[in-house]
Amino acid sequence: MSESSSINLSETLFQKHKQAKETSTLTQYMPSSHEFLEQKRESDPFAWYRNLRRLQWAWLGVDPIDQEEVLAHIASSQHSRTHDKWLDTVIGYHSGNWTYEWIRLGSRYHKQSEALSGDSAAERMFSAALCYGIAGYPHLKNDTLALQARVLANEAYKRAAELTKYTIKELEFEYQGKKILGHLHLSNTDEPQPVVMVSAGLDSLQTDMWRLFRDYLAKRNIAMLTIDMPSIGHSHHWPLTQDSSCLHQAVLNQLSTLPWVDHHRVGLVGFRFGGNAMVRLSFLESDKIKACVSIGAPVHDVLVSQTKMKLMSKMYLDVLASRLGKNVVDINSLSTQLMAWSLKVQGILGTRRIKVPILALSMEGDPVSPASDNHLIATFSQGGQSKRVKSESITRGYEQSLDLAIKWLEEQLCG
């Protein structure tokens, strides 16, 4: 896709949506929840509706200076906002709007890629795909601007896959009469490689995961297969249920049909709610998995506490409601439903120890994935480990935790 066709595609996609609903208004709540949400907005110290993941996005491939420039454009916008307190609630697709500004940065990276060649062009295009993905963050159901941004992210990722020296195959897997779409990343195709299935959280796309492959897995000749969580991205056809690992389980059971991977050496990596799914899958299919890493995964504590759930940001509450397919949300009933996602309540963590070694990682002080959750995971896994990453150096902590995780995975898969 050329730079000019990218701009044309962008204009075509967005021209009908100049007055699209602003993201923070999409989730409808019952009248009984309005007072709580008003009080929450007044008392929370956040100046943004979205949880800003500056360090994570920078690590994934967005230039930190460019990122701050985007956020500054949004923050300084003079256009009207849904909520004056939240800087990223600019109404309408124009300057200052979250999606608009991130698309603009993605288009700049896209244009730079077209002027480069080889790996440099590929890397810039992967960064463009990442920006397009962030433009749709947190990817709520019925967010028309986010849906259009996802189209651009997918197109840019396809183009980057054509440019890179690595092999990236777009694969389809059968499930319930529909197709699960995943991306298989390979350092070479000389012989079948060990494979790691990777899943992000409930607000990230599989097209965000490139750097994990490039910097960690490729140099170890370990393949990476990415799958979106149910209800998001390519997996938006399926609602999220307590069977959080259903799509990954279906894919796992079809790996033996792929000639490029060794289905006897399968590892799992899950970030946030993807970690919940991967831990669950480790228990359900323990004979087919060699090792699992969960990073910042909620598996019990926050899912069974109404008090802790109510401490979540409005964005996260909206994401949970969106993934459940709720049209109108009651905060109290939402917390009751979340209990079904607890792996302890399901009886998965608490009945038997499995032979799959699981490494449970999270940052110190993480409210979503406390030490008790990590300890619970490690307790029911033979060779399981629970580790906390110190948060005073969060950037280095992020790098260290991934380095630790992938080295550990390599030992389990290739040792």
Mean pLDDT by groups of 10 residues along the chain of 415 residues: 51 60 92 91 91 86 94 96 95 94 96 94 96 96 93 96 96 95 97 95 92 94 96 92 95 97 96 94 96 93 90 91 88 89 93 92 82 93 86 64 87 86
Indicate if 10 and 140 belong to the same structural domain: yes
Co-location of 275 and 380 in the same domain: yes
The domain that holds 70 is classified in CATH as 3.40.50.1820
Tell me, yes or no, whether 99 lies in a domain: yes
In contact, 142 and 101? CB cutoff 8 Å: no
**pLDDT score for 11:** 56
Q: Are 35 and 157 in a shared domain?
A: yes
In a domain, 331, yes or no: no
Q: What is the 8-class DSSP label of residue 228?
A: P
State residue 326's pLDDT score.
81
**Considering the entire predicted model, what is its pTM?**
0.92
Last residue of a domain, one of 165, 186, 201: 165
Give the neighbor-by-neighbor strand order of the sheet with 223-227.
Answer: 167-175, 178-186, 223-227, 193-199, 261-271, 291-295, 358-363, 385-389
Q: Is residue 337 in some structural domain?
A: no
Per-residue pLDDT, 14: 60
User: Pick from 135, 165, 195: which residue ends a domain?
Assistant: 165
Supply the pLDDT for residue 16. 55
- Say if residue 97 is in the same domain as residue 5: yes
DSSP 266-321: EEEEEETHHHHHHHHHHHHTTTT-SEEEEES--SSGGGS-HHHHHTS-HHHHHHHH
| Pair of tokens at residue 405 | 């995780």
| Residue 82 belongs to some domain of the structure | yes
My answer on whether 181 and 149 are in the same domain is no
| Same domain membership, residue 177 and residue 158 | no
Q: Which of 129, 144, 165 is the last residue of a domain?
A: 165
Q: Is residue 327 part of a domain?
A: no
Same domain, 213 and 156: no
137 plus 199 within the same structural domain: no
User: Do 155 and 172 fall within a single domain?
Assistant: no
Q: Is residue 313 part of a domain?
A: no
- Domain membership of residue 252 (yes or no) is yes
Q: Distance between CA 154 and CA 127 in Å, rounded?
A: 12
Cα separation, 160 vs 36, whole angstroms: 45
Based on the fold, state whether residues 234 and 349 are members of the same structural domain.
yes
| Residues 121, 80 within the same domain | yes
Residue 201: which of 258, 131, 263, 133 has the closest Cα?
133
The count of structural domains within the chain is 2
Question: Residue 320 falls within a domain, yes or no?
Answer: no
Q: In terms of DSSP bridges, do strands 178-186 and 193-199 run parallel, antiparallel, or are they unpaired?
A: unpaired
Name the nearest CA neighbour of 200 among 310, 318, 57: 57
Contacts of 178 (CB under 8 A, 6+ apart): 237, 238
Same domain for 199 and 291? yes
Domain boundaries, position 392: 166-304+342-414
pLDDT at 394: 56
